[in-house]
Structure 1
Amino acid sequence: MEFFLDTANIDEIRKAQSQGLLDGVTTNPTLLAREGGDWRKQAQIICNEVEGPVSLEVMGETAEEMINEAEDLSNFGKNVVIKIPMTTEGLIATKALHKKGMKTNVTLVFSPLQALLAAKAGATYVSPFVGRLDGISHDGMELISQIRTIFDNYEFPTKILVASVRTPLHVLDSALIGADVATIPFKIISDFVKHPLTDQGLATFKADWDRLTK
């Protein structure tokens, strides 16, 4: 499974890279706004810093607006992936961008049929939002399992990019199901390394080593 960092913070990106945990980055207007300043400068820094895919989101409502924005965003680097909303106009834009050879990430997916439509339109990635589904008492992992089955049934090359990750368990369950990518906030990805038994074991080894070397 690939790990993308869901952030626009360059310090978080650099820390994840130094730990060998970064395969790509996903951004959105909210994350970019949180950093302040010129969003275009921030986006360019991210694209320069990250070797893997970087998702940048269009905000147009019509397919034509989305396509025009996508062509502008693609100038930030060869690693740019255009983030497209799961709408009728978004599907039209996705198909057009696919024909142009541009990579896309269809976002705000909440049903397996939405994912199927995105795959048929030629999306590179489809982003089901598991945390938001869990938040309204739906099973986000059931959605990932359904999408995995559909894509495997018809050999769609579209990758499942699990989004709205709120706990390490979301990542574990997604990996067990066979999702291709999870995009994860820095705090959550940092928690993966932690376990109380690891800390306990290290403390025991250190205490025993200190006795050996006295």
Structure 2
Amino acid sequence: MELMLDTANLAEIERGLATYPISGVTSNPTIIKAEGGVDFFVHMRKIRELIGESRSLHVQVVSTDCASIMAEAQKIVSLLGPSTFVKIPVTQEGLEAIRILSKKGVNITATAIYTTLQGILAMLSGARYLAVYYNRMLNIDIDAAKVIKELSSLLWANSTSCQVLAASFKNINEITTAYASGASCCTVPYSLLCTGLSMPSITKAVHDFTTNWEEVYGKRTLLDL
């Protein structure tokens, strides 16, 4: 299993790396927009410096025709390193680019996946990750968990190195359901990860433990004993 951060905010990435078992960082044009017109490649290099070479960086193209997608992919790889994953939406033009680039050894994250067929085509075309848009699928009445389960079973059956990367989450239940349905990786906003550890029940449990300890030993910790 893997957990990635779905953000381009440097402060969030730094805090996330300090707390959570993060294996990579994903981004897209919407996430970049939230950073307010930053110098794109300079900003991506700063992210790479923060996460190091051992974690994956996923950077999305913005062109929509095959030739331009491939040109952008080559620029991404040349400026950010060959270990960078190029995110390409699974359209007809995108699928053609995925097939050609993957044969050249470029790491591909196939994105904007809403259907099992899209995932199958991307997998057969050489993609390393299949980015399934969980919440967006639910919003248009697509059974996201079913799609993840179908793709995961196909990946296992074919012994491929491709992985299902669930994305687009709005609550904790969606994340846990995606993992339980077979996603080997989820990419999650930093704020949503924080929400998962800020439940009142967790806070109360820790407070009760502290209170019970202090009733016996006072303000001393284990280091004082």
TM range (shorter): over 0.9
Deviates more, 1:91-100 or 1:145-154: 145-154
Aligned match for 1:68, one of 54, 68, 71: 71
Deviation at 1:90, TM superposition (A): 0.9
For the residue of structure 2 that corresponds to 1:160, the secondary structure is strand
Contact 1:119 1:126 in 2 (8 A): yes
What RMSD over aligned residues (CA atoms) do the two structures have, in Å?
Answer: 1.5
Structure 2 partner of 1:198: 202
Q: 1:188 offset after TM fit, Å?
A: 0.9
Rounded to whole Å, the distance in 1 between the matches of 2:178 and 2:136 is 15
Listed one character per residue, the Cα deviations across residues 102-146 of structure 1 (whole Å, up to 9, x for unaligned) are: 100111011101100000000011111110011123321111111
Q: Which runs of 4+ in 1 moved over 4 A?
A: none
How far apart are the structure 1 equivalents of 2:127 and 2:195? 31
Deviation at 1:209, TM superposition (A): 2.2
> Could you tell me which of 95, 100, 105 is aligned with 1:101?
105
Residue number in structure 2 paired with 1:54: 57
**2:68 is matched by which residue type in structure 1?**
E
Q: Provide the aligned length of Structure 1 versus Structure 2.
A: 214
* Displacement after TM superposition at 1:73 (Å): 0.5
The letter of the residue matching 1:50 is I
Q: How does 1:17-36 map to 2 (within 5 A)?
A: 17-36=17-36
SS of corresponding position for 2:87: strand
Q: Does 1:16 align with 2:23?
A: no
Aligned partner of 1:139 in structure 2 is: 143
Asked whether the 8 Å contact 1:32–1:42 carries over to 2, the reply is no
Matched position secondary structure for 2:187 = strand
2:146–2:181: 8 Å Cα contact kept in structure 1? Answer: no
Q: Distance in 2 between matches of 1:194 and 1:21?
A: 17
User: Could you tell me whether the CA contact under 8 Å between 1:84 and 1:107 is conserved in 2?
Assistant: yes
> Displacement, 1:92?
1.2
Paired amino acid for 2:59 = L
TM-score, length basis structure 2: 0.90
Residues 1:115 and 2:119 aligned together? yes
Deviation at 1:46, TM superposition (A): 0.9
Q: C-alpha separation between the residues in 2 aligned to 1:141 and 1:17? A: 28
Identity rate, percent: 27
